[in-house]
Structure 1
Amino acid sequence: MKKTVDNPAGVPAPPPGRYSHVVRLEVGDSTILLLSGQCSVDDDLNVVAPHDTRGQSERIFEIIGKILDAHGAKFTDIVNIRTYLTDIGTRAEYGEVRRRFLDPEQLPTSTTVEVSALFLPEAVIEVEVMAVLPRSGE
Structure 2
Amino acid sequence: MRVTLDNPASAPQPLSPYYSQVARVEQADGSALLFLSGQIAEGATLAEQTRGVFETIAALLKAQGATLADVVNIRTYLTDISRLEEYGTVRRQFLTRTPPTSMTFEATRLFRPEALVEVEVVAAVPAR
Q: Fold match, TM over 0.5? A: yes
**Structure-1 residue corresponding to 2:9:** 9
**Structure-2 residue corresponding to 1:129:** 121
Contact map agreement 1:77 1:133 (CA 8 A) in 2:
yes
SS where residue 127 of structure 1 aligns?
strand
Q: How many residues align?
A: 126
Query: In the alignment, which of 88, 96, 109 is matched to residue 117 of structure 1?
Result: 109
**Structure-1 residue corresponding to 2:43:** 49
**Structure-2 residue corresponding to 1:62:** 55
Q: Which runs of 4+ in 1 moved over 4 A?
A: none
Structure 1 CA distance for aligned equivalents of residues 71 and 35 of structure 2: 10
Contact map agreement 2:10 2:63 (CA 8 A) in 1:
no
**Structure-2 residue corresponding to 1:89:** 82
Matched letter for residue 102 of structure 1: L
TM-score by length of 1: 0.87
Q: Is 1:73 matched up with 2:66?
A: yes
SS where residue 114 of structure 2 aligns?
coil
Q: Is 1:35 matched up with 2:55?
A: no
What's the Cα RMSD here? Answer: 1.0
Contact map agreement 1:33 1:131 (CA 8 A) in 2:
yes
Structure 2 CA distance for aligned equivalents of residues 31 and 119 of structure 1: 28
Structure 2 CA distance for aligned equivalents of residues 75 and 99 of structure 1: 11
SS where residue 32 of structure 2 aligns?
strand
User: Structure 2: which 5+ runs fail to align?
Assistant: none
Structure 1 CA distance for aligned equivalents of residues 28 and 103 of structure 2: 27
Identity %: 51
Residue 12 of structure 1 deviates from its aligned partner by 2.7
